[in-house]
Structure 1
Amino acid sequence: MFSLFLARRVLSGRRVVAIGLDIAGLHCWIPRNVSEAQSILKNSGTEQEDPPASLWTTSASGLVKLRMDPTCSQTPITVHQMFQESLEKYGALNALASKKNGKWEKITFLEYYRLSQKAAKSFLKLGLERFHGVAILGFNSAEWFISAVGAIFAGGIMTGIYTTSSPEACHYIAYDCRANIIMVENQKQLDKIMQIWNRLPDLKAVVMYKDSLPEKHPNVYTMDEFMELGNEVKEEELDAIINSQVPNQCCILIYTSGTTGKPKGAMLSHDNITWTAAHCSRAGDMQPAEIQQERIVSYLPLSHIAAQIYDLWTGIQWGEEVYFAEPDALKGGLVEVLKEALPTSHMGVPRVWEKIMEKIKEVSAQSGFVKKKMLSWAMAVSLERNLSSSNSDLKPFRMKLADSLVLAKIRHALGFSQCQKHFCGAAPLSAETLQFFLGLNIPLYEAYGMSETTGPHCMSGPYVHRRHSCGKAVPGCKVKLVNEDADGSGEICFWGRTVFMGYLNMEDKTREAIDEDGWLHSGDLGKLDKDGFLYVTGRIKELIITAGGENVPPIPIEDVVKKELPLVSNAILIGDQKKFLSMLLTLKCLVDPETSEPTDSLTQEAREFCQKVGSRATKVSEVVRTRDPVVYQAIQEGIDRANIHTAANAHHVQKWALLEKDFSIAGGEFGPTMKLKRHTVVEKYKAEIDSFYKD
């Protein structure tokens, strides 16, 4: 339904009246006169007089042309303008929920906004300069959000640093973004910065926002002290900076992982953030609070764009209530928060969903015979229904019975009893994981994008969904394939308002990523079907080219091996410039809940596999160090079965080895978002790989 509305909004630092259309919660602003239209165009970088010369820049203070076209014509706005618009609608609603002393403490959007303004003034008092960095080093929290928003209000560039970063990694980012202020969570993170402070010429102050300071250091403040610093800063000073901001300039830096070289600072504009928060989220069916206030749990690293756009910026755009998990969320504490928050929407990287799957299997394996049979029956019914092209062909009574007797209870135990949308992103999702959750009547909707596309450029959702696809390009965005092969697979390229401004101070890398026509090259391989659904098949840099010239995408082969061998946790295909393919394997094992380190104990699923083939092994070391003959024979048989499914003989795995320890973040094989670092694996296990090719 279309409805005309009048609304007040800020453009170029002044309040004007604009007429807009409200179309299913998407606001399209129409200027009322020529002067307002010129102001809008100037801010968007599309004014005819003296526009920015390029779609990209590598300067922190640079302006870019926005990718405006008829399919993507919504008026650009700044982060502050987005917050003000949301404030008018959602000011009285709860915005952020933090657990303190066993109780949830909540603040409203109005309080959130005022605290962000207060933080912005304090940043100015500490000497924050325009387009200099405010780095945030800590786990997800209300303080993280307030610092991020306040830094942008104050004209800085907000930059997250992973909590797992070493002092040297912290130095690289803080130096590169010219950080004036660094916000740290606790003493552990403060110690890192103290080690490198003398090598950060732009650093003026550090704020520790969780712990108290055991001893006073010059220019180091607690959060309470910091928030009071700005009391002397006049409203007019902050307003002048806010009003000078335009949508086509940088406000956020997202640093890439640096697995193939130095980390790159992807510059995101106000428009990147505000447009993506509004339109990509609606493509995934996230609801505005006037229809339904979404509840989400924030636990994935906010230094990564996926979590930041989903938790922080979409939260402001649509009036969501965000619950903050404890730092041990990925060590086993996540489910408890989910059970208390009861999210309506949840996002996880593949490894998070895999860990949930493994835990359910573990509990099921320890259950009695009847419970096991009930779960198996219920999941079979749900999987059949969800895989059916016409669900109505199946008897609805069976599905209702299976759901009410078994599946609903499992979803309740996971904290998903009110969850309507379950998203997955940041890495490919295996077919096994997808099917397992379909068996629980939990469809996982994949999203696809990069730091350089402000997160999701393609989205799946309840109404746009196809199995094994990451969905379609968000309305207003485009996707194309270049250099397609005979099978229709090519490099995925992006166009739209999600596309970043460029890499900070890296012109050569920016030119590599953005071509002459302004298309962003992803480095990923994919296929498009006739309906526009995208299927990601691998990365160009991960593509294995054998000595015989065969191009082999590793992920499909690895997925088949893991499907054939349910005791295998990770399977890594090897063979670039080699005569044949080989594989490194790790076994499923329990994880230490305190350290998240893999232990030597096999999971229940892995032990059952061993028992089934005639082995009594309960530890990884018992299998690997003794080269347990029955387990090794079973693995070889599984590899042989997997080879039958490959496209050609050159795609067969001819040799393999079991590693003594599963992969982990601490081990270096996974990044902070549990994404596999293939280059690190190849370097770390070079001796094992070399042994495959000695003869």
Structure 2
Amino acid sequence: MEEVLQLGDEVPEAALDSILEAQRPTQCCVLVYTSGTTGSPKGVMLSQDNITWTARYSSQAGDIQPAEVQQEVVVSYLPLSHIAAQIYDIWTGIQWGALVCFAEPDALKGSLVNTLREVEPTSHMGVPRVWEKIMERILEGAAQAGFLRRKMLLWAMSVTLEQNLNCPGSDLKPFTARLADYLVLAKVRQALGFARCQKSFYGAAPMAAETQRFFLGLDIRLYSGYGLSETSGPHFMSSPYNYRLHSAGRVVPGCRVKLVNEDADGVGEICLWGRTVFMGYLNMEDKTREAIDADGWLHTGDTGRLDADGFLYITGRLKELIITAGGENVPPVPIEEAVKSELPVVSNAMLIGDQRKFLSMLLTLKCALDPDTSEPTDNLTEQAVAFCQGLGSKATTVSEIVGRKDEAVYRAIEEGIQRVNMKAAARPYHIQKWAILDRDFSISGGELGPTMKLKRPAVLDKYRDLVDAFYREHKP
């Protein structure tokens, strides 16, 4: 720090004054490139006003406290090139005087938990995949624990989940819930590094209902933030005082929202307006005009509905919406979540069927990550092995299941998909073909973006031959 301060001594005050005087709220402050999940990355131009306004008011909506009230402590581990980390780690930290602790470079390869234990943040933000990995680690630990400890954890989580579902936000907890927390859950949270954490956030991608309920069972409420790079991050926020399960929260005060082209269920395209909305795309005036209409409304391409209290529920993306050859509009995410919920051995599920006669699906299995590279290995996770053993299968690797077409596992997956089909609204929503891939999705494999968001066009392109075979083999 002394060396940094000495660098400032070399710059004349007059030079600093001229730089400060030249600053304008409408000038571009930072470029954030979109992840390119639906096309080529675009340079999002965010102004000084975009950044400073969002850092102040969106973080207030998330109940982030100024240092004179409470010293917020956060761990920075996501790529700072992404808007979520930019706003949460850098600009909000500067705005409120947060203590920002930088994790090791291999944080996402397994060392993040060690940093969380050491730092004990008061506030933490993770993309859904990070929370899912924490959940899988807890489940694996529970599977290896003794009978009594496993039973104690399941009892404590069921008591706490029931309390949080029936009396959300209530500080008056029954004796059993307080006992469960004291005997079991407080120790689990401490082992995760969340002993002091009052606010746990997620964003950048949809989160499965199963994951949210799991953490509610640990008495960790996950607060959603919804926004885009084009809205400088969060335009909607949840907080301890502004929460509804499965909702993306309410619009940040000072911002506006409207839904266009609503259907009979009140679902329409989400359009946003306010000082969070970006200046435009770098050197892409045509793309900017496509995104922002003449009245300044940003068309997000996401679909959702608003309840009577203004809570937003995301239902999908217009570009992800599958329109079958028969003209049926099918949002893929609810069906994919239903499959993963029915089949705990499944890691990723991607629905296919755009301009096709029926729906099909690509599946990957839960596998252990290489501790050095964080790449998916061939070895199944403890949870996946337990699932297979429960079926009478001795498989411990993905290749054993896929290579030998393990009869017990394939039958169980087919039965799970049939259960999902039985709950579908109509036959066009049924999954008729599916395949298990021999490797889980990853960033390096090109299937996931930098925030673990599924890159559907990339997956379709990579497995085009397999997908085409679904429809060649189909006999009406």
With normalisation by structure 2, the TM-score equals 0.97
Quickly say closer, same or farther: Cα 1:390–1:325, change in 2 above 3 A: closer
> Are 2:253 and 1:469 aligned?
no
Check the 8 A contact 2:38/2:456 in 1, yes or no.
no
Tell me the alpha carbon deviations over residues 603-631 of structure 1, each in whole angstroms, 9 at most, x when there is no partner: 11111111111111111111111000111
**Displacement after TM superposition at 1:391 (Å):** 7.1
Check the 8 A contact 2:200/2:222 in 1, yes or no.
yes
Aligned to 1:133: none
Separation in 2 of the partners of 1:551 and 1:585?
Answer: 22
**Displacement after TM superposition at 1:440 (Å):** 0.5
Q: 1:610 aligns with which of 382, 388, 411?
A: 388
Quickly say closer, same or farther: Cα 1:474–1:666, change in 2 above 3 A: same
- What amino acid is the match of 1:573? L
Check the 8 A contact 2:402/2:437 in 1, yes or no.
yes
Secondary structure of residue in 1 paired with 2:75: strand
Secondary structure of residue in 2 paired with 1:532: coil
Check the 8 A contact 2:51/2:232 in 1, yes or no.
yes
Aligned to 2:469: 691
Aligned to 2:157: 379
> Are 2:287 and 1:509 aligned?
yes
Matches within 5 A, 1:38-57: none
**Structure of higher RCO (CA pairs closer than 8 Å, 6+ residues apart):** 2
Aligned to 1:409: 187
Tell me the alpha carbon deviations over residues 348-391 of structure 1, each in whole angstroms, 9 at most, x when there is no partner: 00000000000000111000100110000000001101111467
Aligned to 1:443: 221
Aligned to 1:155: none
**Displacement after TM superposition at 1:394 (Å):** 8.5
> Are 2:220 and 1:453 aligned?
no
**Displacement after TM superposition at 1:243 (Å):** 1.3
Secondary structure of residue in 2 paired with 1:399: helix
Separation in 1 of the partners of 2:149 and 2:10?
Answer: 65
Number of aligned residue pairs: give it: 473
Separation in 1 of the partners of 2:349 and 2:213?
Answer: 19
> Are 2:60 and 1:273 aligned?
no
> Are 2:101 and 1:327 aligned?
no
Secondary structure of residue in 1 paired with 2:162: helix
Tell me the alpha carbon deviations over residues 14-63 of structure 1, each in whole angstroms, 9 at most, x when there is no partner: xxxxxxxxxxxxxxxxxxxxxxxxxxxxxxxxxxxxxxxxxxxxxxxxxx
Q: 2:304 aligns with which of 526, 549, 553?
A: 526
Quickly say closer, same or farther: Cα 1:350–1:390, change in 2 above 3 A: closer
- What amino acid is the match of 1:572? M
**Displacement after TM superposition at 1:395 (Å):** 6.0
**Displacement after TM superposition at 1:244 (Å):** 1.5
- What amino acid is the match of 2:311? F
Secondary structure of residue in 2 paired with 1:694: helix
> Are 2:379 and 1:601 aligned?
yes
Check the 8 A contact 1:294/1:320 in 2, yes or no.
yes
Q: 2:72 aligns with which of 291, 294, 300?
A: 294
Secondary structure of residue in 1 paired with 2:325: coil
> Are 2:41 and 1:254 aligned?
no
Secondary structure of residue in 1 paired with 2:29: strand
> Are 2:374 and 1:592 aligned?
no
Quickly say closer, same or farther: Cα 1:249–1:394, change in 2 above 3 A: closer
**Displacement after TM superposition at 1:261 (Å):** 3.3
> Are 2:414 and 1:636 aligned?
yes
Aligned to 1:180: none
Aligned to 1:670: 448
Aligned to 1:361: 139
Aligned to 2:42: 264
**What is the identity percentage for the equivalent residue pairs of Structure 1 and Structure 2?**
69
Secondary structure of residue in 1 paired with 2:454: coil
Separation in 1 of the partners of 2:169 and 2:11?
Answer: 62
- What amino acid is the match of 1:597? E
- What amino acid is the match of 1:358? E
Separation in 1 of the partners of 2:168 and 2:76?
Answer: 35
More displaced 10-residue stretch of structure 1: 389-398 or 238-247: 389-398
Check the 8 A contact 2:322/2:353 in 1, yes or no.
yes
Separation in 2 of the partners of 1:413 and 1:345?
Answer: 16
Secondary structure of residue in 1 paired with 2:472: coil
More displaced 10-residue stretch of structure 1: 361-370 or 243-252: 243-252
Matches within 5 A, 1:182-221: none
Q: 1:536 aligns with which of 300, 303, 314?
A: 314
Check the 8 A contact 1:385/1:394 in 2, yes or no.
no
Quickly say closer, same or farther: Cα 1:339–1:550, change in 2 above 3 A: same
Q: 2:12 aligns with which of 234, 256, 260?
A: 234
Check the 8 A contact 1:385/1:391 in 2, yes or no.
no
- What amino acid is the match of 1:369? F
**Displacement after TM superposition at 1:257 (Å):** 1.9
Aligned to 1:573: 351
Secondary structure of residue in 1 paired with 2:362: strand
Quickly say closer, same or farther: Cα 1:491–1:420, change in 2 above 3 A: same
Separation in 2 of the partners of 1:500 and 1:324?
Answer: 28
Aligned to 2:458: 680
**Displacement after TM superposition at 1:672 (Å):** 1.3
Q: CA RMSD in A?
A: 1.5
More displaced 10-residue stretch of structure 1: 377-386 or 642-651: 642-651
Secondary structure of residue in 2 paired with 1:606: helix
Check the 8 A contact 1:558/1:573 in 2, yes or no.
yes
Give 5+ residue unaligned stretches, structure 1: 1-106, 119-226
Separation in 2 of the partners of 1:585 and 1:684?
Answer: 14
Check the 8 A contact 2:38/2:455 in 1, yes or no.
no
Quickly say closer, same or farther: Cα 1:664–1:548, change in 2 above 3 A: same
Aligned to 2:439: 661
Aligned to 1:434: 212
Separation in 1 of the partners of 2:233 and 2:171?
Answer: 38
- What amino acid is the match of 1:469? S
With normalisation by structure 1, the TM-score equals 0.67
Quickly say closer, same or farther: Cα 1:423–1:391, change in 2 above 3 A: closer
**Displacement after TM superposition at 1:249 (Å):** 1.2
